[in-house]
Amino acid sequence: MGATTLITVAPTGAESSKADVPALPVTLEELVQTAKECEAAGAAVIHVHIRDEYALPTLDLSRLRDTVRALREGTGLIVQLSTGGAVTDSYEDRLRVLDAEPDMCSLTCGTVNFGDDVFMNPWPFMVELYRRTQELEVVPEFELFDLGQVAALHRLLDKHGLPYGGRVHCDLVMGVPGGMPGDARTLVAAVEALPEGATWSATGIGRTSLPVLFAALSAGGHLRVGMEDTVTFAKGRPVTANAELVERAAQAARLAQRPPMTSADARELLGIRACG
C-alpha cells in the first residue's frame, strides 16, 4: 500500500453560533448525519465538541456518552472528544470528558491567547489530563498552537512516558489570533521540532485553512478540516456542509498521490484499541 493521508474532521467547535452559521451541526442527529457524510468523503477521525438544547457548548457527561455511542453505531470513524471545550469550561469538566470512553481525546500542550480570550492549559492540568489518558487507555492527540507548546510536549513525554498505544500523534493548530501563524515556514519549523517518529496533521484557522492544507500535504503531513476551524469555503462563500471541506481535502490528498486513509489503517497508525 502506498502512502495515505489521515483526514480528521472537526465539524462543530465551541466558537461559532448556530444563529450565525446555520449549517453548523449542533444536535446529535445533525452530528451523526454530518459524520456519515464526512466518512463517505474520506474522513477517518472525528474531533467532537457538542452542544446543549440551546445549541450552546457543553461538556455534559451523559450527552457525551450518548454522542460516542451514536457515532460508533452510525459510523466507523475514530471518535476523538475535545478536552479543550470552550474557553469558559472548568478543568474539572474537561478532565471528566474521558469518562465518556472515547477512542481519542485532544490534549493541548500549553496556554495560548485565543482571540480576545485565553485558552488555559497550565502544566499541572496538562499532566493530570495526560495521566488520565494513560490510565483510561485513551489515545491523546497533542494540539499544538505555538512552538513553545512543542517544547512542552517534549517535557511531558520525557517526564511521563509515551501515550497509551505507544504512538505520538500531534495536530498543529495554526492561525489562531494569539498562536503561531498559519504559513508554510512556521509549519516547517514546528514539524522539525516535533518528537522523533511523531505523526502529525495540521489545520489552519479561517483564511489560513488552504495555505496550511497545501503546506501540510507538501511536507508529508496529515490533514484536519471542518467548520470548527473555518466557516468560509472561499471568499464570500460560506461552507454549506462539513463534507465539502472533507471532499476538498480528499481531492487535494489524491492530487498529492496520498489518498485518504481508511479508519482501519488510522486505528493502526494511532495505536487505538481494537474493541473501540
Contacts with Zn ion by CB under 5 A lie at: 82
| 83 close to 94: Cβ distance less than 8 angstroms | yes
Nearest to Zn ion of 37, 89 (CB atom): 89
- In the 8-state DSSP scheme, what is residue 192? H
**Host H or E run for residue 158:** helix 147-160
102 interface partner picked from ligand KMH, Zn ion, none, CB below 5 to 8 A per type: none
Quick one: cell of 129?
489530563
Q: Nearest 5°: phi and psi at 69?
A: -60, -50
119 interface partner picked from Zn ion, ligand KMH, none, CB below 5 to 8 A per type: ligand KMH
* CA count, 13 A, side-chain hemisphere, 63: 18
Residue from 143, 146, 229, 247 in contact with ligand KMH (CB under 6 A): 143
Nearest to ligand KMH of 8, 83 (CB atom): 83
Is 164 a binder of ligand KMH (CB under 6 A)?
A: no
Q: Least Å distance between CB 129 and Zn ion?
A: 14
106 CB contacts (<8 Å, ≥6 apart)?
47, 80, 81, 82, 83, 84, 140, 141, 143, 171
- In the 8-state DSSP scheme, what is residue 261? P
Binding pattern to ligand KMH, positions 207-226, x when CB under 6 A? --------------------
Residue from 82, 133, 242, 263 in contact with ligand KMH (CB under 6 A): 82
Residue from 67, 108, 208, 209 in contact with ligand KMH (CB under 6 A): 108
Nearest to ligand KMH of 70, 87 (CB atom): 87
Residue from 106, 203, 209, 242 in contact with ligand KMH (CB under 6 A): 106
Closest CA to 146 of 115, 169, 113: 113
Q: Least Å distance between CB 264 and ligand KMH?
A: 25
Q: Least Å distance between CB 81 and ligand KMH?
A: 9
Number of Cβ atoms within 10 Å of the Cβ of 161: 11
